[in-house]
Structure 1
Amino acid sequence: MAYKIEKIKPEHDQDICRIIKHVGAEYGAAGDGFGPADEEVLCMSRHYDRKSNSIYFVATLNGQAVGGGGIAAFNGSSEICELRKLFLLPGNRGQGLGKELTLKCLAQARGMGYSQCYLDTLSSMKPAISLYEKLGFRHLQRPLNGTDHHGCDVWMIKKLSNGQQARQGCF
């Protein structure tokens, strides 16, 4: 399948909102303390741009949004970004799209000058956790101070670097 990955546009907002809320509900990540409940989900294109040192990508198949993921500063940090709202519809998982989105986000994070990438997720999202481990994220015992997602029970971080070191262990 030929997926297209592009920066979010206003015309993607409704579909991405639906995908984030659908997948969140699938994994029990609904309500306060989970990413799908964040206000930004209602209009993602307004919250991710170069001016705020953030970006969100949408993956489409035959013109239809099937998922997305992005990065933004963690709690206002200029050094640590957060991998945010990486969600894929069920029929589009297991085909390398999550990896492609994650690698694209990490490359952008490096280009924006971040030195680390943090994420929080749920232990029930085992394939995602496995992917993050393979891409060099390491587990943390607790969330970083300032996280908004107190419903999550897995916290991970990855040191970002440039050049060869950044690619080791990614494939």
Structure 2
Amino acid sequence: MDYEFTENRAGKDEVYEHLVKCNRSFIPALNSRVDIKLYTEKIMNGAVRFEAWFNDRLIGLVAVYLNDNTRKVAYVTNVSVEPVHTGKGLAKKLVMRSIKRASQMSFEQLQLEVSVNNQPAVNLYKDLGFKKIEDTTDESYKLALKLN
């Protein structure tokens, strides 16, 4: 399969539709934690989006806030791949693109939060060098990757 990788190409409707399609892939489901429409707005207004496309359809999305220039900490708010396209390394490629961008912008750390029950995601982040910095709740970890 031929995938296309872009940055910030998707429109608001495409991001919203993607998040709805991936809703149940999140642990817990995305709509149990956020209003997906409002979350889409927040991503569109404040995050850099690393996107994977298949047949002109957004099928993978990593959204990162690269705006804390004081602390030099970037924050991954979303990693999602449509279920039919999982297991093909897309999430890893997209996260790696976000790591490269944060490094290029002289950020010192990339942080994210992940459910303790989402073992594939935990494994992915550990493989990329993320380390646990705190247990935010009984259900999630905060992980960080030192950059540069």
TM-score by structure 1 length? 0.73
CA distance in 2, matches of 1:66, 1:151: 30
CA distance in 2, matches of 1:138, 1:125: 16
2:19·2:36 contact (CA, 8 Å) conserved in 1?
Answer: no
1:127 to 108, 112, 120: 120
1:80·1:117 contact (CA, 8 Å) conserved in 2?
Answer: yes
Residue number in structure 1 paired with 2:38: 39
2:65 to 65, 72, 83: 72
Residue number in structure 1 paired with 2:86: 93
1:69·1:102 contact (CA, 8 Å) conserved in 2?
Answer: yes
CA RMSD between the two structures: 2.6
Q: What residue ranges of structure 2 are gaps of 5+ in the alignment?
A: none
Residue number in structure 2 paired with 1:14: 13
Q: 1:153 deviation in Å?
A: 1.1
* 1:58 and 2:45 matched: no
| Aligned amino acid, residue 20 of structure 2 | K
TM-score by structure 2 length? 0.83
CA distance in 2, matches of 1:142, 1:38: 28
SS of the equivalent of 1:104 reads helix
| Aligned amino acid, residue 24 of structure 2 | A
Residue number in structure 2 paired with 1:102: 95
Residue number in structure 2 paired with 1:156: 143
Q: Percent identity?
A: 18
Q: Report how many aligned residue pairs link the two structures.
A: 147
Q: What residue ranges of structure 1 are gaps of 5+ in the alignment?
A: 49-54, 144-149, 162-171
2:130 to 121, 124, 137: 137
